[in-house]
Structure 1
Amino acid sequence: MLQLLLATKTRQELLQGDAHGAALTRSLTTWDLLAIGVGSTVGTGVFSITSQVAAQQAGPAVLLCWCAGGAGCMLSALAYMELSARLPVAGSVYAFAYHALGEVFAVVGAGCITLEYGISASAVAANWGDKFRTLVASLGAPSFASHLTTKIGPATLSFPALVVLLLVTALVYVGGDLGKRFARVSSALAVLLILLMVAAAMTKFQAEHFDPFVPPEFGPAGVMSGCVTTFFGFLGYDEVCCMAGEAVEPQKSVPRAVLGTVFIATLLPALGSVALVGFLPCSDIDANSGFEVAFRQRGWTFLSHMVSIGELIVLFVVTYMCFLAQPRVFYALSMHDLLPRRFRDLDEHGTPWFATLWTGLLLVACGALLPFSTLANAISGGVCVAFNLVNCSLIVMRGERVAVRHLGVALVAFNLFSFLAAVLLQHGGQGLLAWSRIASVACSIVTLLALVLLARQLGASQDGGQGEEAFYRVPYVPWIPCCAIVFNNVMLSSLKAQDFLLLAVYLLLVVCPYLAATLCRFKKRRHSTVEVSLAAEAR
């Protein structure tokens, strides 16, 4: 049974996985991948997270938060860059974990990125519906806006969100050149809108709004909290790697697109934070709609409405980009018989049409039934788990080349104790403060020892092997991926207990059917082995 759970796929098996059916069409250039990455990341950061952090957590230091979040994201992005060049197939973390860690970890990874792509697409569509109703009401039709939602038991169904999901499903289903053109044009439009907002706000820039840079009421703790919040504004850059199975020259185009996406996703919100704080004192910034309310307070009604409409456009783009990756995840699962074979069916454009239709049905159902306000942090936690799986996969792949002993034990110890140290530092109770600090120091020491063990044994893996293909390689392994794991664990430890519980329940719902199916496979294999043995004895 354990052998089945930890079964891995070789690189050749993953690359030749399309032997079961038609292969995805490789038609995405670096610019196409960059458009997908930028379109899935930049909107949320500028339109909502910047104003929230500036008003409630860090003040003018929101700029520092974005820079720190970008640096932390880049640590994991480096691992994505190497692994997507090594394994340019659909599935992203699912494929990486299947190759390095085993099938059960691949299933966990697939569940985590389904949270990031599929469930998030429903959440963004629901947010689009709320923004649309607010805009309609502000334009003088509050009665019409009130009829755009209806109650279904405890859940609220938004008709605008439903329309958005149906439109996105149709757009992804059509695929081909239309989808590529839409990705390019919409991402460029989103970036242009953000730059126009920044330029308009900078015309009234006042440097005194940045004094003090870290307001006393927030302090370093507020800046740390802001870093956690801004980190979640980068989620989606890894979608580029999920599309690697359709990339032209993936060894070059995917790493470039990932690097460009993280850079732009850091630069634009940083510019937006400077412009917003310079335009309006942090005490006057609206936490939910920073730029829109700021322009309205100045009497710039046209710009205020333009921002509201632009936000709808950007949220639609984000919904499309998140949706785009999910059928590729289902396709990858189907290629290895973890989903029915129909999910690998492709149309004449190379689009997984059956997986796309089922994704649309799934997201419409999620949009009607799930309370996204309580799921947001659990989604972010799932993404952190996925990031850690990617970094662990990189370390294991490097370790395989130099036959590292006890690699799994050291890696599990590093992950577990670095997470415990972060939890104890952030959530140590007042009455147990001294004990929590002692336990945190002990966990940190074990973490450091595990890192030293990994570093000593992985030193020989820094050089490329003879006959290896030329592709991007992360320097200073395991130091960089281990730093990324620590950073991700700090982000994870910031979640509340109910968020961890929701994430654990979701992952159990993902893994339990897989475990049941694996148990059936194990029994069938054992039964067939017994039959073969009996037949051999009969001869």
Structure 2
Amino acid sequence: MIFSPDESMSCAGYGSVPSSDIGAAVRYNDDACNGSGGRNAKSHHPHHSYELNRHMSLFDLVSVGVGATVGSGVFVLTGLIAHTLSGPAVSVSWLIAGLAACASGLCYAELGGRFPSVGSTYVYAKETMGDCAAVIAGAASAVARSWGDKVVEYMKTFEDEDKTSSLYQFFISTLDPGYGINFGAFFVSLVAVLLLLDGVKESKHVTNFFTILKVFLVIFISVTSMILVKKENLIPFVPPEFGAGGVIRGSTSSFFGYIGFDGRYMIHLSQCGFGLGITYSKSRSFKEICCLSGEAIDPSRNVPRAIIITLLIVTSLYVVASLGLAGMVPYQDISEASGFPDGFRYRGYNWTADLTALGEITVLPLCVLVTIMAQPRLNFTMAMDGVLPPFFAEVDEKQNLKKGTKVAGAVMIIIATVVPFAHLDDLISSGILIAFTITDASIILVRHTSPHDEPFKLERLLIVFHVLSLVSGLLFKNCISEEETGHAVRVMTLTSCAGSLIIGNLIRTKCPRVDEADPGFFLTPAVPILPLCGCFVNILLITRMELKSLIVLFGYLVFALLGHLYNLHRGRLPAENIVEISRFDDAWWR
């Protein structure tokens, strides 16, 4: 139904949203506020949706995806991973990350076509209360902070006589004043927010232009570096001081390059009863392509296509570029902060280094622009559920979420200015891996079901599979980090891996598939094998993270869950949600 100007909307929490502000732009399903829909993940309809002008073509969606993902990964992390973690095998790290991302990306492709709604499907407060603007802004500010550091790094390559000029000293002191403050990040974040205040329709032309420029830049540095490859720089391909553990940990950091997909569709896993309150863990990093599906032309077809095309383009660019860098310069001499520009200078190609550095500075801010696009739409959805104040749902005369953009942008700018890049990288990567894992599991719950005589068998098997995968990852971490691993540890590792295979086979054979004849959208192939492989790889990579990053992430999840329970206690959620949650908790373990 369409809300008329004299009606108002009131779900739970902060109260009603005047429909006069949104009636022209938003269309809701009849069950949007009564809690009657959206609970069954196998439905083809989200809990609620709204429609803005559908103006995003397939090319626009691919531009958003590529623009979001190709950036700090190749320009910032490649040199760091090659120098400190993987050596010449940095390309293998990117490939492992790409394959795991591909498994999850195909799941996103189906869910993006199955539930093509703007702002995704954050329905219940137990999911949405975990999502705060600061963490979304953290994903964007990691790139924004990197941009400011890039400008300073480039200016420090000037000739000595240039460094004595007052103009040079002014820029250095402004961009890098110390105390952990970076005004370069402040500037680029501010510009991105100002562009988005005019709306996605207006800013997409900027996105398309800079995405094309960015792809050409990566192709240029890849081809040039491959021409300069020396075979001796690639030997040994996996340095003994890093070993296989370094390659795997490098792939964990490489996941920062695959944050352009929207894990918010994993909410449908929670609607099946899995994850309960933590499905929101880190989905805010995957927001660009799927979150714009409500503004996409023919989203059921174009959103999956855009995700798959983006995966192919991004993985190819990362693998080729990283292989070129590792072959052009000995890994011991690769700069951690400015890999490609310093690599070209190392080989005497100063003009190529300057062109690459300027190109990076020019195109890297695009990641900030496309990363912050989704936040106002998420705030809008949460405001519709009464979780956030009503002003987040206000739409101006151009159907833009201007107030939501201002608030989200302000938080992003603050974090980008004061939080160092290094403090965000591992935290984002570990959160992304959890989001991938939950999304993979959500596809299994959508496409399979428990036997009639054994309710919740599928859910229980998935829990056991994830526990065994975690044990396997921890044991495998011990095997590759210790030079001499005991026989018992190796046996336990193989046993837990075998247990994961057995459980996966039980899911495949004992849990019936849900038949969908001609669903009208992309279907993930090889379910449940492909999603289970994605889950296993993701958990394996999670165990390779630094302990302090995992502790911070765990603290965030606990905070999100406590926030959700607090709102249940205060009655901010509709009563029927509380009843369903209690019933579900009892039923799982009967």
Distance 1:438 1:304, change over 3 A: same
Q: Which residue of 1 aligns with 2:126?
A: 104
CA shift, 1:180, in A, is: 1.0
Residue type of the partner of 1:298? R
Cα distance in 1, alignment partners of residues 441 and 478 from structure 2:
26
TM superposition shift of 1:351: 2.7
Say whether the 8 Å CA contact 2:95–2:315 is kept in structure 1: yes
**CA distance in 1 between partners of 2:380 and 2:338 (Å):** 38
Distance 1:520 1:15, change over 3 A: closer
Match of 1:64 in 2: 92
User: Shift of residue 207 of structure 1?
Assistant: 3.8
1:17-67 Cα shifts (integer Å, max 9, x gaps): 33xxxx333211111110011011112222123223333333333233322
In structure 2, the residue matched to 1:52 is 80
Instruction: List per-residue Cα deviations over 1:104-146 (Å, max 9, x = no partner).
Output: 35655x46x974x421211221221122223334342145412
Shift of 1:183: 0.9
What is the CA distance between 1:9 and its match in structure 2? 6.2
Q: 2:49 aligns with which of 3, 9, 17?
A: 17
Displacement, 1:192? 1.0
Q: How does 1:253-402 map to 2 (within 5 A)?
A: 253-400=302-449
Does residue 125 (structure 1) correspond to residue 144 (structure 2)? The answer is yes
Aligned equivalent of 2:469, options 414, 418, 436: 418
Flag the 1:9–1:341 CA change in 2: closer, same or farther, 3 A. farther
The offset of 1:364, in angstroms, is 2.1
Query: Residue 59 and residue 338 in structure 1: after superposition, are their counterparts in 2 closer, same or farther (change >3 A)?
Result: same
Query: AA paired with 1:451?
Result: G
Compared CA separation, residues 133 and 218, structure 1 to 2 (3 A): closer
C-alpha contact (below 8 Å) 2:95/2:319 kept by paired residues:
yes
The structure 2 residue matched to 1:145, chosen from 143, 152, 172, is: 172
Whether 1:8 aligns to 2:39 is: yes
SS at match of 2:519: coil
Offset of 1:260 from its aligned partner? 0.9
Q: Structure 1 pair 120/269, CA: closer, same or farther in 2 (3 Å)? A: same
- Higher mean displacement: 184-193 or 388-397: 388-397
Structure 1, unpaired ranges of 5+ = 530-539
The amino acid that maps onto 2:95 is C
Closer, same or farther: CA 24–120 of 1 in aligned 2, 3 Å = same
1:134 alignment counterpart: 153
- Structure 1 stretch displaced more, 138-147 or 266-275: 138-147
- Whole-Å Cα distance in 1 between the matches of residues 82 and 175 of structure 2? 32
Q: CA deviation at 1:171?
A: 0.6
Indicate the residue corresponding to 2:548 in structure 1: 498
Tell me the residue number matched to 2:25: none
The answer to whether the 8 A contact 1:33-1:257 is kept is yes
- Alignment: residue pair count: 505
Residue 288 of structure 1 deviates from its aligned partner by 2.5
Contact kept, 8 Å, 1:241 with 1:254, in 2: the verdict is: yes
> Could you say which residue in structure 2 is the equivalent of 1:37?
65
Residue number in structure 2 paired with 1:534? none
Matched residue type, 2:215 = V
CA distance in 2, matches of 1:245, 1:71: 28
Which ranges in structure 2 are unaligned for 5 or more consecutive residues? 1-34, 263-287, 580-590
For residues 470 and 196 of structure 2, what CA distance do their matches in structure 1 show? 38
Structure 1 ranges of 4+ moved more than 6 A: 428-432
Q: 2:97 corresponds to which letter in structure 1? A: G
Greater shift, 438-447 or 261-270, is seen at 438-447
Residue 82 (str. 1) matches residue 101 (str. 2): no
1:182 to 202, 206, 214: 206
Counterpart CA distance in 2 for 1:349 and 1:272 is 41
What secondary structure, in the 3-state scheme, does the structure 1 residue paired with 2:180 have?
strand
Deviations along 1:296-325, whole A, 9 cap, x unmatched?
Answer: 223333222222221112320111111112
In the alignment, structure 1 residue 480 sits paired with structure 2 residue 525: no
Change (3 A) 1:337 1:440: farther
Q: Higher helix proportion, which one?
A: 1
Once the two structures are superposed, residues 241-270 of structure 1 have per-residue CA deviations (whole angstroms, 9 ceiling, x without a partner) of 222222111111111111111111111122
The Cα offsets for residues 364-412 of structure 1, whole Å up to 9 and x where unpaired, read as 2323454542232111111111112211221111234976732221112
Do 2:449 and 2:511's aligned partners in 1 also have CA atoms closer than 8 Å?
Answer: no
- CA 1:256–1:309 in 2, change beyond 3 Å: closer, same or farther? same
SS at match of 1:377: helix
Identity %: 29
SS in 2 for 1:180: helix
Distance 1:324 1:12 in 2: 25
